[in-house]
Amino acid sequence: MSFSLMTSAKQEKSGKISDLSHLVPVLELNRTGKTYGKHQVLQDISFRVNKGEIFGLLGPNGAGKSTLMKIITGLTKPDSGQISILGYDAIKERSEIKPLISFVPQINNLEKELTVSQALRIYGQIFGIKNIKTRLEEILDEFKLHDFKDKEIQHLSGGMSRRVLIARAILTKPKFLLLDEPTVGLDPDIRWDIWDIILNLAKSGTTIFLSTHYMDEAQKLCQRVALLRLGILVDVDTPDNIIKKVKITDGQTASLETAFIKLLGGCCA
Amino acid sequence: MQWYYIYWREMLLLYKKIGKLGYIFSSIMMPLLYLFAFGLGLGGRDITGGNYVEFLAKGIIGITVMMNAFQQTSLSVSIGRFYFGTFQTVILSPIKNWQIIFGLSLAGVVRGMLMGFVVYGVAWMFFDISSISPLAVLAIFISAFCFSALGLVVGLYVNNPDALSLVNNFLLMPMTLFCGSFFPITNLPAWIGSIIEKLPLSIVNSLVRTDVLGPSVWQDISILILIGLACLWLGTNMLTRYSE
């Protein structure tokens, strides 16, 4: 299996990753594939995500991002290939992996009838958190949710719901956090807010894997990104390197968005 | 004991919803309509060789428990899978699959029994009927367990929540009408009756109306428990093989 990895020297130069020990794989995919009926959604996907990294998954609609995300979380079983998460076989040793990872889905899947406090508490209990009372207080402080803790989820704004959704995922102190389109449909100020949360999580040592449609988000947050098109992995590299790989013609700006359009064709399926 | 948190989550959601008029009405409105329509309309007639309203009220308990236990689990799982994504939270948790299934089914048992008792309580207030026996309470519990477990399997099996209406229309509704809730199965043609009496709701209705333990009662109880356990086993396996 050959991985296109960012060199440690470049990582250090970029200032985004400062420690060589981060190059420990948290996620390794080796020729992962998935077919629904006759439609091959993912084909021979291989890459790895290193400890402490923020890794982005980019691709147009129908590229297979959500399927890949579901395969990594364990919601969908792949048809072929191997996946290793934190050193465990993702299929055979899923029960070992479950307490170590958290998933923030694209849709708000909080129980809308519950209050913020109730939703977080029951999630923590389901995930077997000891001293849930203390941890709940910590997370309410960390995410500035104290004023909203008795409010029902259905009465929260979209941005605040997303905040609670991320807070819930962090409650378990996961080693590996997966976020599916974490800022989709949010106002710019709330996107910035969520970005800060993600960057702070990465600083505290959490490895983050996120899918996004927003190139500015990928450029701002991710050390490396994987480009997916029609279920095929087109490239894995740093945003800067991907931008450099694309030939810019007159009137075009060198950006990840331009590279995305040129490499992935802008549309899919 | 991890199942307890799965169960508790369902109870919290039930507690939040139960205060809402629409929820309580959707849970017991149809059985109450049956009770009052048939109880007032046919109550004075000799259909069962005894007190018809008492016969009817115990049959209505069977229906209410079946509907509510089944709906609690089938809707929680199917809507949680397809609309709200809340089932993802449960399935991604470190709780073992059999404990998830057990916790969910226990919630179905509680809702089924709760609504069954509410309906019987209303019947007791408005009609001249006796209290139910301890054996009937046991039968209600086992019935709730059986249909709750069945609801889980159906909730995991369907490809969309609309498919639940097929089960409602082709399994639950015919059982509601034919399985001895409104009239004795012996009133049916013999060949139909011999099939109908083997269905779970017929067994439940028979148990709820029985006061004395006997070999046939134990056999009926065993059949319902076996159906419930088979559904729990199937549900656990479906969860192990679960893939979206």
Contacting A with CB below 8 Å, chain B residues are: 2, 5-6, 8-9, 12-13, 16-17, 84-86, 88-96, 242-244
Q: State whether A113 and B96 contact (CB < 8 Å).
A: no
Strands A207-212 and A54-58, bridge-based pairing: parallel
Q: State whether B88 and A74 contact (CB < 8 Å).
A: no
Q: Domain locations in chain A?
A: 10-106+176-190+198-264
Q: Which residues pair with A225 in a beta bridge?
A: A56, A237
* Per-residue DSSP letter, B169: I
Of B6, B243, B244, which has the smallest distance from its Cβ to A126's Cβ? B6
With 90 as the cut, is the pLDDT of residue A255 above it? no
Tens digit of each residue's pLDDT (9 = 90 or more) over B109-158 = 999 999 999 999 999 999 888 888 889 999 999 999 999 999 999 999 99
Which secondary-structure segment (H or E) carries A26? strand A25-36
Task: Domain A10-106+176-190+198-264: give its CATH code.
Answer: 3.40.50.300
Tens digit of each residue's pLDDT (9 = 90 or more) over B149-158 = 999 999 999 9
The beta-strand segments (E) located in A100-146 are 101-104
Q: Does A130 touch chain B (CB under 8 A)?
A: no
What is the pTM (predicted TM-score) of this model?
Answer: 0.86
What ipTM did this prediction achieve? 0.84
The pLDDT assigned to A268 comes to 43
Query: Distance, in angstroms, between A154 CA and closest chain B CA?
Result: 12
How many helices (H) and strands (E) chain B has is answered by: 11, 0
Provide the pLDDT confidence category of residue A190 given band limits of 50, 70 and 90.
confident
Contact B59, B143 (CB under 8 A): no
The pLDDT assigned to A10 comes to 38
Tens digit of each residue's pLDDT (9 = 90 or more) over A87-112 = 999 999 999 999 999 999 988 999 99
* Per-residue DSSP letter, A115: B
What's the whole-number average pLDDT of chain A?
86
SS3 call for B186: helix
Q: Does A77 touch chain B (CB under 8 A)?
A: yes
Determine the residue among A126, A165, A176 to mutate to test chain B binding: the one whose Cβ has the most chain B Cβ atoms within 10 Å.
Answer: A126
Q: Which residues pair with A229 in a beta bridge?
A: A232
A207-212, strands of its sheet edge to edge: A88-89, A80-85, A25-36, A39-50, A232-237, A224-229, A54-58, A207-212, A176-180, A101-104
Tens digit of each residue's pLDDT (9 = 90 or more) over B52-97 = 898 999 999 999 999 999 999 999 999 999 999 999 999 999 999 9
* Mean pLDDT value across residues A182-206: 88
Greater confidence, A148 or A16?
A148
Residue B84 with chain A: CB contacts under 8 Å: 107, 109, 111-112
Which residue in the block uniquely carries the two structure tokens 């009662």? B217
With 80 as the cut, is the pLDDT of residue A34 above it? yes
Percent with pLDDT over 90 in chain B: 75
- Spatial distance between the Cα atoms of B203 and B201, rounded to a whole number of angstroms: 5
* Mean pLDDT value across residues B196-217: 90
Degrees to nearest 5, angle at CA A27 with A23 and A29:
120
